[in-house]
Amino acid sequence: MRNDHVTLRSTAVFDLLAPRTPAVPVQVELRYDTKDPYAVVAAFRTGRAGWVEWVYARDLLADGLIADAGDGDVRIRPAADDPEVVVIELSSPSGHAMFEASAQELADFLDRTYDVVVPGNEHLWVNVDEALTHLISNDLT
């Protein structure tokens, strides 16, 4: 396990899409932390209420830049009519949201994560004992 942990942050603006209304720009912070090397966090600014965070696999983001990816709550795909745009769909019990984002901005962020943790080397950053301790302590409370 590696101990020289790094957190990468990048800000972007995604367009929230809704039927019969103009797109609404939403500030998004993308984060990658080597303490959870398999995941990417997208934090969406929700106005005065704060932020809503979605955590999904880094591989899902990579796959979604080139083809339809995701079967569950997060789906990512290139836009059908514009290769410069990626569509991100988020589903939860409280609703569904669809965003458009710059494929280049997402690819640049992903490349920065690869500079820190090469794909396939994520396991070198995981402390299994610490993760189990965290899971067990949270399960008991």
Which pLDDT score is estimated for 39? 96
Is 1 within a domain?
A: no
Decide if 68 is inside a domain: yes
pTM across the whole model: 0.86
**Cβ-contact 54, 44 below 8 angstroms:** yes
Could you tell me the residue range of the domain that residue 114 belongs to? 7-138
Distance in angstroms (rounded) separating the CA atoms of residues 70 and 72? 6
pLDDT in tens, 32-86: 999 999 999 999 998 777 899 999 999 999 999 999 999 989 999 999 999 999 9
Q: Is residue 37 part of a domain?
A: yes
Residue range 10-32: mean pLDDT, rounded? 95
- The count of structural domains within the chain is 1
Residue 21 lies in a domain: yes
Backbone angles phi, psi at 125, to 5 degrees: -105, -5
Q: What is the pLDDT of residues 80-111, one digit of tens each?
A: 999 999 999 999 998 899 999 999 999 999 99
Residue 126 belongs to a domain with what CATH number?
A: 2.30.31.20
Whether residue 120 is contained in a domain is answered as yes
Listing from the earlier edge strand, what are the strands of the sheet with 51-57? Answer: 51-57, 39-45, 24-33, 7-17, 95-102, 85-92, 74-78
Report yes or no on 109 lying in a domain. Answer: yes
> Residue 69 domain-assigned?
yes
Residue 41's nearest CA partner among 92, 86, 94, 90 is 90
Q: Which two tokens stand for residue 19?
A: 């039927």
Cβ atoms of residues 109 and 10 within 8 Å: yes
On whether residue 2 sits in a domain, the answer given is no
**What confidence category does residue 129 fall into, taking pLDDT thresholds of 50, 70 and 90?**
confident
